[in-house]
Structure 1
Amino acid sequence: MKQLASTILSATCIRVFLFLMMINLHIQAQVPYGDNKAAGHYFDNRGIKLYYESYGKGEPLLLLHINGGSMKLFSGQIAYFSKNYHVIAVDSRAHGRTVDTQDSLSFEMMADDFNALLDHLHLKNCYVVGWSDGGINGLVLAMRHPDKVKKLVVSGPNLTPDTTAIVPHVYHLLENMVDSLKELPPTAETRNSIKVLQLDLREPHLRSGQLRTIKCPTLVIGGDHDGIPVEHLVQIYRNIPKSYLWISPNTSHFVATNRKDQFNARIAEFLKQPYRRIEGMDILQ
């Protein structure tokens, strides 16, 4: 029994995978996001074919998804924002339809992918909305290519790969998932899953000083029961010069799906209004 147990994922890991599968199936039943031949395109970039889909017209808005997911998780945002924006949803390197057979994976590589995509689309800059790893990608993009990010929204990002930035039981769950996957036959899918999960166990390594170089207005979002401690999200908010903070009550890491309407409304308001710092006696008004 122990040998058999060592070849499969733990019960907790299975629940996580089933949850993500249910979300993806629910989305696929409603809309073809992530599998839309009319809107989908591939961009050849540094050894991969980066898959993206475009919807709507207006100012460009780039959507960057969670670790282990794909653009399908943003179905509620694509449908909402494509009414007023040119939405560009991307399957990040080694995710979804963007196949990556290379051994290495980093947030810097991903950020450079998105920068190259914007150049390919002849876009001077854009709004960026990133969730979880997508939020980290957004932060790194704003640091490495500051002229490309007009405004930035990050939901549940973290700065370091440890239990100060990811709640301990979630961090250890990631470790257990990788250990369990390593016991499976080394198929291409298994190797890719290990690479993707290990990304969150090894990166990022972002410092407060780097956050202070971000010049664009930024909205930091999280749930009060997020997998990223609220204190860590506050740290990110406090170190980005032009930033706002919104913590959604009674909400997990999945603010974008579990609080879709509020999530979309907060972002829409942020994108439309100029940044305003409240100082001095104005804090009492």
Structure 2
Amino acid sequence: MLCVFWLQKLTNNFSNSRPDAVIPRCLGSITSALSCQMRVFVAVVMVVSTEVDGDRRRHYTACWINTRSRPARHNIRARIAANVSDKALPIRGVQVSSAKINGIDLHYQRYGEGDAIVFAHGAGGNLLSWWQQIPFFSQRYQCITFDHRGFGHSLDVPEGPGAASFVDDLRGLLDHLDIESAHLVAQSMGGRTMLGFAVKYPHRVRSLVMADTVGGMNVPAVVAEQHNWAATHTASGEIGFRAVSPLFVQRNPNLANLYLQISRTNPPRHMPPDGLPAGPGTDELKNLNIPALFFVGEDDQISPPQVIAAGAKAIPGSKLLRVPEAGHSVYFEKPDIFNFEVLRFIESAEKSA
């Protein structure tokens, strides 16, 4: 017997609730409704908050899930992305290599075929960080991951330029791979690479995803929010501990430990005495005509929502997604939501190009 639950009335009843309250209430209603042994198709609704040019609104991320009666809530959540199947997704066309770029051996991996998506990791990771994205996106796209200079297997030269060379390193990698243009996906520190590249080479960027990062923007509103946050919050401990939310650690101790161990595979590095170079300023960003999507976890303790919101406003037409129950690593903590929303954004950017 086939049952279809139409949840429009349910979601309307919860329309004035916080997103993090709606999700468990929706799932609870679905669970209680499934009282007999049968296979059903259920429309599950995830609620995320969206901002476009400062106008905040919520939208419902819906997908159909094939399940059985009385499913555990975590089983539904684990399959929330529309394209996730019951079977493990194969990884297509794997190429592991390195290229001589700007005086170093830049380590990279390439998967799949088609239009290119390039993923830039944060300071707490390396190319291993994208293990939950590559099987998903490589089904339809050519996916490039790489170790930033000074991370993973991409060792910097003694007294090398470090982060100051990130943008030029990315350009060299794309040239080496004969990729003229690509969709760029950045996490945290990787935002400096991707935003800097987008400003310098906008004709080579098809879309830009900035996850928990403002890419070092030298914008007064962003800098002010960062200073306000730093004045009232003290950072302590290595980044592997701070980059995920306490709730994620409590619910997923094994994955939290994996995040930490990936971070610890990086070689020792030292912060430049003058700090990281400043990123693009207001004038450079206001003329950036590239589809841009910002993510922020509502529990982010490194780049909090108010900082990311200020950064999103600096790029005209950009969108901001606030994800409940996530910290500084939405891509790692909530991969199903992240993958689904990034895919939808990229598809929209391709249609409007």
TM-score (ref. length: structure 1) = 0.71
Contact map agreement 1:91 1:97 (CA 8 A) in 2:
yes
1:267: which partner in 2? Answer: 342
The within-5 A match list for 1:124-203 is 124-158=180-214, 159=216, 164-165=225-226, 167-168=229-230, 169=233, 171=235, 193-195=268-270, 198=271, 202-203=275-276
Q: Distance in 2 between matches of 1:232 and 1:251?
A: 16
- Equivalent residue letter for 2:104: I
1:231: which partner in 2? Answer: 306
Structure with greater helix share of residues: 1
Aligned-residue offset at 1:257: 0.9
- Equivalent residue letter for 2:334: R
Runs (5+) with no aligned partner, structure 2? 1-87, 240-263
Aligned-residue offset at 1:101: 2.7
Q: Distance in 2 between matches of 1:116 and 1:136?
A: 16
- Equivalent residue letter for 1:244: K
Aligned-residue offset at 1:213: 3.3
1:222: which partner in 2? Answer: 296
Q: Distance in 2 between matches of 1:144 and 1:264?
A: 27
Contact map agreement 2:206 2:349 (CA 8 A) in 1:
no
Aligned-residue offset at 1:254: 1.2
Shift in alpha-carbon separation, 1:61–1:244, aligned structure 2, 3 A? same
- Percent sequence identity is 25
Q: Does 1:84 align with 2:145?
A: no
Aligned-residue offset at 1:109: 0.8
1:251: which partner in 2? Answer: 326
Q: Distance in 1 between matches of 2:310 and 2:144?
A: 29
Q: Which has the larger radius of gyration?
A: 2
Q: Distance in 1 between matches of 2:135 and 2:351?
A: 28
Runs (5+) with no aligned partner, structure 1? 1-29, 176-188, 278-285
RMSD between aligned residues: 3.5
Structure with greater strand share of residues: 2
Aligned-residue offset at 1:275: 8.6
Aligned-residue offset at 1:164: 4.2
What SS does structure 2 have at the residue aligned with 1:202? coil
1:242: which partner in 2? Answer: 317
Shift in alpha-carbon separation, 1:208–1:200, aligned structure 2, 3 A? farther
Shift in alpha-carbon separation, 1:275–1:165, aligned structure 2, 3 A? farther
Q: Distance in 2 between matches of 1:91 and 1:163?
A: 31
What SS does structure 2 have at the residue aligned with 1:242? coil
Aligned-residue offset at 1:106: 4.6
**Does 77-86 or 240-249 show the bigger shift?**
240-249
TM-score (ref. length: structure 2) = 0.58
Shift in alpha-carbon separation, 1:131–1:199, aligned structure 2, 3 A? farther
Shift in alpha-carbon separation, 1:90–1:125, aligned structure 2, 3 A? same
What SS does structure 1 have at the residue aligned with 2:145? strand
Contact map agreement 2:149 2:162 (CA 8 A) in 1:
no
2:152: which partner in 1? Answer: 96
Shift in alpha-carbon separation, 1:94–1:145, aligned structure 2, 3 A? same
2:30: which partner in 1? Answer: none
What SS does structure 2 have at the residue aligned with 1:76? coil
Contact map agreement 1:160 1:204 (CA 8 A) in 2:
no
The count of residues paired between Structure 1 and Structure 2 equals 232
Contact map agreement 1:222 1:255 (CA 8 A) in 2:
yes
Q: Distance in 1 between matches of 2:194 and 2:293?
A: 11
2:51: which partner in 1? Answer: none
Aligned-residue offset at 1:172: 5.7
Aligned partner (choices 100, 108, 123) of residue 67 of structure 1: 123
Q: Distance in 2 between matches of 1:82 and 1:200?
A: 40
